[in-house]
Chains A and B, each alone.
Chain A
Amino acid sequence: MNARPTLEQVREWLAAVPDPEIPVVSVLDLGIVRELAWDGDILEVTVTPTYSGCPATEVIAADIRSALQARGLAAVHVATRLSPAWTTDWLSDAGREKLRAYGIAPPVGRAGEVHVPLSAIGRPRAPTQGVSCPRCGSHNTRETSRFGSTPCKALWRCADCGEPFDYFKCH
């Protein structure tokens, strides 16, 4: 067995592990890798799930293990950490740009700021502003459905170029 790689090296390797649902972004871009640590010869990778029921969660853990094993790390333990809960605020800037290039509008605003107060729920409200069409860049867009193809996305449409697109919800 070779000497232990540095955690910085491990991070570089993880930057090449794609999200199984949206393969243009890596698990690092998503902000779900919360901690890396050595426990003797075992590498402990702490991951937080995006949504509770996201079916990608188990695939991600398996992908991380196999990617690191391919680099010669035999003993990898992927642990789950729930708290603090994942937020789209942890998406990297590079990840946001990759989403846009892929045709998914990245989240607008910070999760804490867009939280709808209880007193405003069930009242007519102003639509989310500033979601730009990933195809033409127009801000003249509107939500067509609260949910898209996965729990993390909503369906939107561009009123200028007509493109229907996924919006990565601010969560």
Chain B
Amino acid sequence: MNDARFECLLRLGDNALVLAQRLCAWIGHGPVMEEDMAQANVALDLIGQARLWLAYAGELEGRGRDEDALAYGRDAGAFRNVLLVEQPNGDYAQTIARQFLFDAWHHAELSALTASSDARIAAIAAKALKEVSYHLERSSDWMLRLGDGTAESHARLQAALERLWMYSGELFDADAHDATLVEQGIVPAPQSLRAGWLQQVGAVCTAATLTMPDADAWMQHGGRQGRHSEHLGYLLAEMQFLPRAYPGVQW
């Protein structure tokens, strides 16, 4: 019974953790200092959220793994994040497009989770939602600025949107774990968030003079079941190196 909840918490935690790790790679490389700081701050929010989700996952699992053990001790096949968040940073347009597509879903997901029948999930979601509202505002602002900016920024953002689009469908995939938890009122049905997400993404694309790709285009799947793109292994190699090379190290 708890297997489904454990899986769901890994999905929530791993989405936040992997995206945070991606964003941290911008520190020292952002286009301007303010963007370095913004990426670091968004990443920090997400790491905090990942910690809350993974700590709960570890408690439910009952095998003595805390959030650090889950973050640093699992291989790629045991990660449950969606493929979207592990995609490379690319140029700034790709980083912004990835963030925006994720933020719009994350906002809808957390909003629904505030009504979860699991009180702890509802509490974490309510806290995270405040932070993610700000993330969505910021990534939407950048969609407008780059999309409705110069010909160069517009072309790059449109290309990024088209490149990442096939990873957006997985956000609304459902499997047996989802079915179990939906029945218990713990999580929303993933598909129930799709219409609102499409509307939100479409409205921002229109305002940004961008063309939203076809909603019914072919989509990639598998991250939520542990079937990842090659990118995740490299990301984890960097993220997990220290605690794996020096188990139990503290500083």
Interface 9-residue window, one of B124-132, B152-160, B235-243: B124-132
User: Which of B124, B138, B144 sits near A82, CB closer than 8 Å?
Assistant: B124
Do residues A122 and B140 form an inter-chain contact, with CB atoms below 8 A? yes
A84 to B144 Cα, complex, angstroms? 33
Flag whether A171 is at the interface (Cβ < 8 A): yes
Flag whether A18 is at the interface (Cβ < 8 A): no
Flag whether A94 is at the interface (Cβ < 8 A): no
User: Which of B35, B44, B143 sits near A51, CB closer than 8 Å?
Assistant: B44
Contact digits for A22-33, partner B, Cβ 8 Å, 1 yes 0 no: 000000000000
Do residues A121 and B37 form an inter-chain contact, with CB atoms below 8 A? no
Least CB distance, B123 to chain A, in whole angstroms: 4
Do residues B134 and A118 form an inter-chain contact, with CB atoms below 8 A? no
Do residues A85 and B126 form an inter-chain contact, with CB atoms below 8 A? yes
Contact digits for B136-180, partner A, Cβ 8 Å, 1 yes 0 no: 111011011000000000000000000000000000000000000
Least CB distance, A138 to chain B, in whole angstroms: 22
Please tell me the size bucket of the interface on A.
20 to 34
Do residues A51 and B45 form an inter-chain contact, with CB atoms below 8 A? yes
Flag whether B85 is at the interface (Cβ < 8 A): no
8 Å CB contacts to A: which residues of B1-47?
Answer: 34-35, 37-38, 40-42, 44-47
Interface 9-residue window, one of A39-47, A70-78, A102-110, A146-154: A146-154
User: Which of A53, A83, A111, A169 sits near B47, CB closer than 8 Å?
Assistant: A53
Tell me the B residues contacting A by CB distance below 8 Å: 34-35, 37-38, 40-42, 44-49, 51-52, 107, 119-120, 122-124, 126-128, 130-131, 133-134, 136-138, 140-141, 143-144, 200, 203-204, 207-208
Q: Which 5 A-B pairs give the minimum distances between C-beta atoms?
A: A53-B48, A52-B48, A122-B140, A122-B204, A145-B34
